Amino acid sequence: MTPGWGGPVWGEPSPAMGAPVPVRAIAGAAAANYRADGGRSADFVVLASSVAGTAHRLGGGRCEDAYAWVKPRPGRLGLIIADGVSTAGRGGDGADLAVAAAARYLSEREDWGVAECRGAVERASDYLRAAARASGPASAAELSTTLVVALVTTRTDGAVAVMARVGDNTGFVLDGGVWREIFVPPGSDDLHHVVTDVLPLPGPGESELSTVETASVELPHGAALVLVTDGIANPLRDGPTTVAPALAEILRGGPTGDLSPLGLMAAADFSRRGCQDDRTIVVAWALPPA
């Protein structure tokens, strides 16, 4: 067994990825630094993974990203990712709480659209504020996290997704090997813009989140909806000839069953100089009717 990581190198390798990962003083399944899951139904394929970045692994920390999906009925799928703010103190806990609250909210919805996307973000924010009140007045800032929610609905020609986010998590459509970012400022190049306005949860007041961004996107059959934290989004943007094509090639195996959750996790743990943040990726494909 080779110390450190011996997986894909996309661009100039990261020296930190070759160092042995130290044993953490306390570790458990709930805060695992390597997570992978997935599944297939008659209408969707879903794959998800999170890996701790080298900054957390070598420092003895935990992965502060979280993800979930919700499939309340045929033809509907909800995807959620969160990235705990690294300077918050308990950002990883905040990400876990936010994702769980949003998933519970979505599992109870009858409708499935922009209002429910925003509602999931607001429910997560409300839950974080309640958790903070239970822990003390200084806890709200300690639980800060970003969040993105996507609700997918199948149609005869593919699917449509509506999305809402707070912070710099983002989403891409991958179609025919071409990446298209969904939350892109007007006039910006999909893979060459920088997100500067990061306003994490909890929001400013009870069910009052004026900073929520929303978007919608068409997903033809064969196209992937890819939600990522900035640990993957930033390398995608600055690696149009390295990270972007390599990850696109790996994701081709999702609908065919050639890519497993463990394979996606291994890909997310790529080596690239300067990329030390936690990485989460959740991918969904709408399947054509049988």
Three-state DSSP at 47 gives strand
CA distance 27 to 9: 28
Structure confidence at residue 192 (pLDDT): 47
CB 285 within 8 A of CB 255: yes
Whether this prediction's pTM lies above 0.85 is answered by: yes
User: What are the residue boundaries of the structural domains of the chain, listed by start?
Assistant: 33-182+191-286
Structure confidence at residue 285 (pLDDT): 98
Structure confidence at residue 3 (pLDDT): 53
Residue 123: which H helix or E strand, with range?
Answer: helix 114-135
User: 209 pLDDT band (50/70/90 cuts)?
Assistant: low
pLDDT digits (tens, 9 = 90+) for 39-64: 999 999 999 999 999 888 888 888 99
Three-state DSSP at 272 gives coil
Structural class in CATH, domain 33-182+191-286 = alpha beta
Buried-state track 222-255, b at ≥16 Cβ within 10 A, e below 16: ebbbbbbbbbbbbbbbbbeebbbebbbebbeebb
Q: What percent of the chain lies above the pLDDT cut of 70?
A: 87
Q: Mean per-residue pLDDT for 181-201?
A: 59
Structure confidence at residue 244 (pLDDT): 97
pLDDT digits (tens, 9 = 90+) for 267-288: 999 999 999 899 999 999 999 9
Is 262 a residue whose pLDDT tops 90? Answer: yes
CA-based torsion, 252, 78, 144, 131: positive or negative: negative
